[in-house]
Amino acid sequence: MIKGHDISLAHKNFHILKSVNLSAEYGEFLAIVGPNGAGKSTLLSVLANEASSKQNHNVLFKEKEFPRWNLKELSQNKAKFSQHNPADITLTVKDVVMMGRYPYFNASPAQQDFKAVEEAMEDTDVLHLQNREYNHLSGGEKQRVHLARVFAQLKNKIAHKLLFLDEPLNNLDVKHQYKALRLIKEFTENGNTAIVVLHDLNLAAQFADRILLMKNGKVASHGKPEEVFQQEIISDAYNFPCAICTHPLTKNPMIIFGS
């Protein structure tokens, strides 16, 4: 699906990413985790074709480098949820979600675009807000609107789509955190791929198929949750003591920080 080889990125004399190699396969939920400043969001931007053009040649999406993709075709195959969005958007909720359908029409949306928008709003629990002004929403509601936008963008019949999400759980309450992660999991169970930056290690352990742990711009560990979430590995990456036990309900690794 997507492969990154020897991805390195520097700003002036500071190395943000250092020879990162990774891959994500069809139907896989890959979680990128690590402490602040580890390079998680920067790596996601490179993988999503939003960073250095030089590095884009180090990334293959469906066996093709990004510069060889037609932009309209690419935007129907992959979408990215960003951590930061414009603070002032003078549109209604349904119009913001419709932005995800721009790759599908030139002047006016078709019926299939309206249908995709409605389904995405229902999936993310913002359908009842569709006529509200975006600027009048809470932080969590805005977050769900942008989740609806990227899901609407990938509502098509193309096989093996790719979704990037940079900290999609920010501002969400517990119910909507789980709802968002279940939507992502359902997306991957349909043969698509999701690469998600997460801070909550226990949620990553519960939902992700594989974990990429980063520290200081490098890959510290990479594998299944039970392989990465080990006491010595996590304590070293976060420079903070932890204990690993088994979650009583899910049987996934459960990380407890503290001395």
pLDDT of residue 10: 83
Q: Mean per-residue pLDDT for 174-187?
A: 96
* Domain extent for 11: 2-257
pTM: 0.94
- 9, β-bridge pairs: 17
- pLDDT band at residue 86 using 50, 70 and 90 as cut-offs: confident
* pLDDT value at residue 52: 58
Helical H segments across 126-250, by residue range: 139-153, 174-189, 201-207, 225-228, 231-238
Mean pLDDT along residues 7-12: 84
Give me the pLDDT at residue 112, please: 96
Mean pLDDT in residue range 191-211? 97
CA distances from 138 to 13, 135, 177, 180, 190 (A): 39, 8, 15, 17, 31
Domain count, the chain: 1
| CB-count burial class (<10 Å; 0-12, 13-18, 19+) for 32 | buried
- pLDDT tens digits, one per residue of 102-147: 999 988 999 999 999 999 999 999 999 999 999 999 999 999 999 9
CATH number at 233 reads 3.40.50.300
Selection from 225, 230, 220 nearest residue 208 by Cα:
225
State the pairing for strand pair 210-215/29-33. Answer: parallel
Q: Are 35 and 199 in contact (CB under 8 A)?
A: no
Helix axes 139-153, 174-189, angle to 10 degrees: 10
